[in-house]
Chains A and B, each alone.
Chain A
């Protein structure tokens, strides 16, 4: 008799996850934004309202008269997902409905043009989970730089050439800026770690107030890699320290996903055409490679990513983060 300990795989088959974003949409194969939206909604279930900023996710999911969304969904503009979500939340509150509002924005719609709306929503303490799917450029308009584009990456508006090595500026630290609003919960996540991502969504949903999830979401088209490698590349971003997986509560770091043996940043960069110019035999290229390695090293040191504590167990329900020695589910 195994009724006390059902096989989780069989249980899962019998109870498939909620598919808030179904198949049939027009995303490129291996699109991280699509994976992010799907994973987030797997964790939220159907009782949500979604506000979506203009960008790839919105465009590929709703070519009228089709829609891949199985939850109530609205797209207004590029720069107002935070405010539209705030209005939806205010309406729900006024009506006494306790449905949760989720906003989705790309890095452009979040870090740049939609930043004012996001900041206002956080400051006014709306009960909204804002999810930024970060593919590190304006993909929908053909891969232009954003303030989230990593240093030295190639985009169509930060092309490398004789006088330039790709983007000249640093990737904006949006999580710290968001955390500076003293919101109860802000975290990074990656499509390469679905259980961790879903767990963070559940955590955010349990909180009454503004929460923020920053999800690293590879874009095969913009980053220049095979769609089949999206997860591998996203995982390398975490394992090299380029995209640390962390959690903050009221601005303080309360959880990090440890990396036992950090991999060299070059392993992550080499797989993507947007960093190809860094691998030519050239002093400036070597300098930029070192610069990027230094950024990863800094992340590892700053967040104590190699620190003590249990390794990440990338399985549903297991601890994927540790916070001051305390385990939480």
Chain B
């Protein structure tokens, strides 16, 4: 039975259903409501966990690292500056292959200070070795949260569940929360093989010399690639259990004759769908949503892009001195493909700028020119800038 829940509240309830034994977090907009809701669930006796209200995000990540290493299912959440403050620990968690789940309520990164939604924070930690999943809506955020624990624990890799700040975290939607029985059936108790235990003392996080380091990195790299199968299995098994589909790696839909694809991550997918439905006289467009950003599911992306002449990538972040992260990665991947689409990249909705229905038409119109190396801020209003900055 769907109930009207705020995104953060729904995510908090989903986390509680997963029964993590340790939760550590530090408040930051727009993640705050998640932590507040969890705190209230704990205070009301509806969620039994060790809630560690830490003094910084650096410690939030460190606490869950220690907790999971000691064998507890652990959860944290953050945004923006908090994610960047955690960065060193994020690398450490994945490097040690410690499974845990983090919700990233995506937000712009300072300066200038901006609390609103884009995905710069997640892009800043794209090489930290985490599995990174982007949710299209709050129902998917709930379902992905449950899946994330299973994926993490089976792959022994940390999972970051990205939800667009405000757009999702602060929006009331009808949500179908899974039952405790379903979650318990899907998610057996966490048994960490390498947990710190006096009965079997092991050393973790040791000094690794050049003699071994490349092998360790290779193993991590392979593990992240291999995680694709677990991400797909989790989505499939979850759909089988609760009868509700989530994305897995990549989702694509549109008329068969479409020769143009528009690719994005996160909640703007819904906007693009609505835009396409609202403008039947637009050229046929295939909408492609990357739910899994790390590992980058190249085979699934290639399949989703089959037959396209033109691929427009809409990014919620910008890589200064380069352009777009995803645009660049996809251009690199398609570079040696004979039938590769021309790839256009745009940043859109930076720092919470509204992404209206007109975005789709504007993206199509702006990528008609024959310059596929192009990257631009699609919704720029140049008249606001002095001449030399345009």
Contacts and interface: CB of A to CB of B under 8 A. Distances in A.
B is a partner of A: yes
Interface of A: 46-49, 51, 58-59, 62-65, 67, 69-77, 79-80, 82-95, 99, 116-117, 119-120, 123-124
Contacts of B58: 79-80, 83, 116-117
In the complex, which range does the number of interface residues on chain B fall in? 35 or more
B267 interface: no
B69 A88 contact: yes
A99 B202 CA distance: 15
Given A94-B21, A95-B21, A70 B207 contact: no
B176 interface: no
A83 to B, nearest CB: 3
Given A76-B89, A91-B71, A94-B21, 7 more contacts: A51-B66, A72-B200, A86-B59, A87-B63, A91-B50, A91-B74, A116-B56
Nearest to B200: A72
A57 to B, nearest CB: 11
A48 B198 contact: yes
B15 to A, nearest CB: 15
A91 B67 contact: yes
Interface of B: 21-22, 24, 49-50, 52-56, 58-59, 62-72, 74, 88-89, 92, 96, 196-198, 200-209, 212
A92 to B, nearest CB: 6
Nearest to A73: B203
Contact of A87 (B55, B74, B198, B207): B74
Given A62-B207, A91-B50, A83 B88 contact: no
B53 to A, nearest CB: 7
Given A85-B66, A94-B72, A71 B198 contact: yes
Contacts of B196: 49, 72-74, 88
Nearest to B192: A91
B70 A92 contact: yes
A93 B56 CA distance: 22
Contacts of A49: 70, 196, 198
8 contacts: A65-B212, A72-B202, A87-B52, A87-B64, A91-B22, A91-B68, A91-B70, A117-B59
Contacts of A91: 21-22, 50, 66-72, 74
Nearest to A62: B206
A93 B62 CA distance: 17
B204 A75 contact: yes
Nearest to A90: B50
Contacts of A46: 198, 201
A84 B66 contact: yes
A210 to B, nearest CB: 13
Nearest to B24: A87
Contacts of B21: 90-91, 94-95
Contact of B22 (A59, A85, A94, A119): A94
Most B CB within 10 A of own CB, among A58, A87, A90 = A87
A67 B206 contact: yes
A83 B198 CA distance: 20
A59 B207 contact: yes
Contacts of A90: 21-22, 24, 50, 52, 63, 66-67, 72
A124 B207 contact: no
A118 to B, nearest CB: 10
A87 B49 CA distance: 12
Given A46-B201, A77-B89, A80-B89, A63 B207 contact: yes
Contacts of A48: 198
Contacts of B74: 87, 91
Contacts of B62: 76-77, 80, 83-84, 86-87, 117
Contact of A116 (B55, B96, B209): B55
Contacts of B200: 72
A83 B63 contact: yes
The 5 closest A-B pairs by CB, nearest first: A87-B66, A83-B62, A91-B72, A120-B55, A87-B63
Contacts of A71: 198, 201
Contact of A88 (B70, B92, B206): B70
Contact of A120 (B56, B206, B207): B56
Contacts of A80: 58-59, 62, 65, 89
B50 A93 contact: yes
A23 to B, nearest CB: 16
Contacts of A47: 198
A123 to B, nearest CB: 7
Nearest to A51: B66
Contacts of A95: 21, 70-72
B208 A76 contact: no
Contacts of A92: 70
A69 B203 contact: yes
A91 B50 CA distance: 8
A63 B208 CA distance: 6
Contacts of A86: 52, 54, 59, 62-63, 66
Contacts of A59: 207
Given A75-B204, A123-B55, A83 B92 contact: no
A74 B66 contact: yes
B88 A77 contact: yes
Most buried by A among B68, B72, B96, B203: B203
A89 B71 CA distance: 11
Contacts of A70: 201
Contacts of A119: 55
A84 B201 contact: no
